[in-house]
Chains A and B, each alone.
Chain A
Amino acid sequence: MKRFSQLFIELDTSTSTNAKVDALARYFASAPPEDAAWAAYFLAGGKPRQTVGSRALREFALAGSGLPPWLFEESYQAVGDLAETIALILPPAADESDAGLAEWIVQRLLPLRGQPPAQVVERLHQYANELDTAGRFLLIKLIGGGFRVGVSRLLVTRALALHAGVDPKVVAQRLIGYTDLTARPDASSWQALVAPAGSAADAQVSHGTPYPFFLAFQLAATLDEFATVLGPVRDWHVEWKYDGIRAQLVKRDGRAWLWSRGEELISERFPEIVAAAANLPDGIVLDGEVLVWDPGAGHPAPFARLQTRITRKNVTPKLQSQHPVVFVAYDVLEVGGVDCRQQPQQVRRATLESLLADHGSQITDSELRLSPLVREPDWYALARQRAQSRACGVEGLMLKRVDARYGFGRSKETGAWWKWKIEPMTVDCVLVYAQRGHGRRASLYTDYTFAVWDRAPRDAIEAQAVRDAVAAASTGAMRDLPQLVPFAKAYSGLTDAEIRQVDATIRKTTVEQFGPVRSVVPELVFELGFEGIQRSPRHKSGIAVRFPRILRWRHDKPLHDADTLASLEVLLSASG
């Protein structure tokens, strides 16, 4: 645990990617294989089932620290992380344990699951007494199942590749399934992960596993630069960018599997897609998008309807008919059991088209379909098509070079995929509630709720009257005045300096506090961007927006000029 704790500190205190990769590679080289196996598992995003619930953790923390619950709560509010709070408030450790990470996990933590609470608390006392603050923090993180340090799966892949002397693509392939919920990494799975290239395991792609997903970069160029940056349109395949669940459909040995981009097996959520894949030949892997698409509709349904399919555990026939799903295929990664990711985009596309055409007679059009190409003579014509995105229920366009190989992750090494998304919808709105952030933003007010006017104030004076009435918490004075209707929460988009400024204003203009939330005097106007908008009976405003984020702080915009519910209605009617 000490060695892993040291690695964690190195990763946590470094802002340089190379330093992190080096630290990881050094750890992998020095740790015993069974420890390295678990370290790779956690750092690559593996989460065992929670062994102890957060209520038991709190009980343990209160008993161990001897603090009253209110003081624990104050501490938690200041820290913003349960595991860290507990690690900090416990009295210093008596002695230190030399047990390795694997021993900690396998012998000590995993057996806690399902134990009676009293016994769990007693064990935790014993364990915490053997660890320093960093060790305790990790222990509690590992218990809770949520473990994040500034390391991406791609970074871990690079470090493993460096350590093993193997191509990162091969390592990425081997990592699939490694972090499954049921996986129990050990010395032998570690050996397989870092074995020399060309080992038997690599040749035979195991049952059902997908390939690492290739991700696109956001295109930053302006339209006029496209010809210079991208070259002629004919070098590119252009498709709609769908707003669904990116997925791979794997068909091998008479069975089909559907994997999400998080490498989660989602077959059971979408049985109709799995059923449709039964008609495909064996040894096929398709890359595409899962979407809700009503029969006969010209374009897919909004993401919110797909969400109802994801969140429901039981997929009933009723749910299936209410929100019918389809798989829109845009790439093929394996044909006849052979990996074809190294073939150019246009060859893979041709294979995909003929594949779907050959079996089209057996495949009902509604469940498995081809992502059409958008063909235009030049970038400007494409830009006009892109402008139609919202009405077509898509997020913009995807550009794929005709000679692009299918890479992995968001790497620039192979080929080139770009996403050319539409500009977000925007409104100017007013900050009305604030809540403290978590993690690195704990103790600052960083999570905001925004409102628009129910009717436009006549002038600055009327808006000022609203401001004063709120400040005086006088509901009487608010009668006949326009109201601010909360409609969205957002937290990203401001610089750290701006956050500190907004935080200071929030503290100064707080009207009321409800637990961690403060209501503030309406003063600050922000431009909020979002990707989609739809009616929602669950929201007070009757409207829900998708991916809301702060675009900028409108210092220049007076309160009475903020947008109204009517502005939202206009956006609503414009988006299909």
Chain B
Amino acid sequence: MPTACCAWQPWCSREGKITDLVVERPQGLYCPAGDFHIDPWHPVARAVITHAHADHARSGHAHYLAASEARHLLRARLGDIDLQTIAYGERLRIGDATVSLHPAGHVLGSAQVRIERSGRVWVVAGDYKLDEDRTCAPFESIAGDVLVTESTFGLPIYRWRPAGEVFAAINAWWSGNAAAGRSSVLFCYALGKAQRILACVDASIGPIVTHGALESLNDAYRATGVTLPATLRVTAIADKTTLRAALVLAPPSAIGSPWLKRFGDYSDAFASGWMQVRGARRRRALDRGFVLSDHADWPGLSQAIEATGAARVIVTHGYVAVMVRWLRERGLQADAFETEFGDEAEEVAEPS
């Protein structure tokens, strides 16, 4: 951990000169050279936003900077904010720092923040994954001296199967249910996971129904140019037999809600990286758990960290203590930032 001196007073450092391009502040991660925050959790003047999930993109900041592809999503989530967007790779001078955004592969418009000053480069990766996802630009490896990384699935038990296998399993479950005349209710996070599923399942199996909470986000994806199959609102369906062959996407908050009653005898499932562990699957008492995540798995985290060539790594959220110790044992200088990431209401992690 940085000392209190460095954390609260960015102009001060133990060496007596400004070295750290990103420090911890009560409002969030802060870049002293450019006088801006990254995904701050309290209102600030200037916020660089890595992606539109609620624990990273909060309301109340005076000015927002994000990747162009995130524009529609941020508007859908935060309304009429003062938003500036730049293309991936475009360089912007902010104060003494040169800032650019690069694809993080997490969700549509997700970005890693590259900060350069006097030849030193810091990369704040935000949330990211290395697996393929046709709804967003693929993760780009950025060389840097220091990497600020997440560690949501930072345990070696988390190792994803190729996404194609998971979607084949989802398709098989859906068509099996459709043949038996029952709806397939699949719970998934409303932003990112839902659209990735929509884009990757075999839409010829049957109609796709989406919960109201997903609609504005689907629209934002479509408006950004991502092709999604046609989706129906449940209220728009006159012939109830349609529902029996349908794939129904709903956020986890809908579990146990009366909204589900209309589907009668349905099969339910949850798509999340947490489904990797049998206990987590069984605790939810759902029929199926599909292991599908928009975060890097253990090998992915290692690969991403190694690819930056960074000698220093700072871990923000997830299995922080584990990752810090693991990296230190591998000879890297590793520390943690205490953040308020990773507790987005719908992204209920199961912390250690």
Task: Check if A78 sits within 8 Å of B277, measured CB to CB.
Answer: yes
| A561 interface contact, C-beta 8 A | no
Contact A85/B352 with A13-B287, A74-B322 known, Cβ cut-off 8 Å: no
Task: Check if A71 sits within 8 Å of B322, measured CB to CB.
Answer: yes
Task: Check if B279 sits within 8 Å of A67, measured CB to CB.
Answer: no
Task: Check if B157 sits within 8 Å of A80, measured CB to CB.
Answer: no
Task: Check if A443 sits within 8 Å of B352, measured CB to CB.
Answer: yes
Contact A14/B287 with A67-B156, A81-B278, A89-B156 known, Cβ cut-off 8 Å: yes
Task: Check if A68 sits within 8 Å of B329, measured CB to CB.
Answer: yes
Task: Check if B287 sits within 8 Å of A84, measured CB to CB.
Answer: no
A62 to chain B, nearest CB (A): 11
Interface set, chain B 274-288, CB cutoff 8 A to A: 276-283, 285-288
Task: Check if A443 sits within 8 Å of B350, measured CB to CB.
Answer: yes
Task: Check if A71 sits within 8 Å of B352, measured CB to CB.
Answer: no
- How many A residues, CB 8 Å from partner? 31
| A88 interface contact, C-beta 8 A | yes
Task: Check if A78 sits within 8 Å of B155, measured CB to CB.
Answer: yes
Contact A78/B288 with A443-B277, A443-B352 known, Cβ cut-off 8 Å: no
- How many B residues, CB 8 Å from partner? 26
Contact of B282 among A67, A70, A79, A440 (CB under 8 A): A440
Question: 1/0 contact trace for A440-452 toward B, CB 8 Å?
Answer: 1111100000000
Collect the chain A residues with CB atoms within 8 Å of residue B351's CB. Answer: 507
Interface set, chain A 481-509, CB cutoff 8 A to B: 496, 507
Task: Check if A439 sits within 8 Å of B282, measured CB to CB.
Answer: yes
Task: Check if B279 sits within 8 Å of A74, measured CB to CB.
Answer: no
| B159 interface contact, C-beta 8 A | yes
| B326 interface contact, C-beta 8 A | yes
A91 to chain B, nearest CB (A): 9
In whole angstroms, what is the CA distance A438 to B278 when docked?
Answer: 11
In whole angstroms, what is the CA distance A71 to B326 when docked?
Answer: 8
Collect the chain B residues with CB atoms within 8 Å of residue A78's CB. Answer: 155, 157, 277, 352
Task: Check if B279 sits within 8 Å of A65, measured CB to CB.
Answer: no
Contact of A79 among B157, B289, B329 (CB under 8 A): B157
Contact of A88 among B159, B286, B319, B326 (CB under 8 A): B159
Task: Check if B279 sits within 8 Å of A441, measured CB to CB.
Answer: yes
Name B's A-contacting residues (CB within 8 A).
155-159, 276-283, 285-289, 319, 322, 325-326, 329, 350-352
Q: List 20 A-B contacts (CB under 8 A).
A: A12-B278, A65-B156, A70-B325, A71-B325, A74-B319, A79-B277, A80-B277, A81-B278, A81-B279, A85-B157, A88-B157, A88-B277, A439-B279, A439-B282, A440-B278, A442-B277, A442-B279, A443-B350, A496-B283, A507-B351
Nearest first, the 8 closest Cβ-Cβ pairs linking A and B are A440-B282, A442-B279, A88-B157, A440-B279, A89-B156, A440-B283, A75-B157, A443-B350
Given contacts A75-B156, A443-B352, 5 further A-B contacts (CB under 8 A): A15-B286, A71-B325, A75-B155, A88-B157, A443-B280
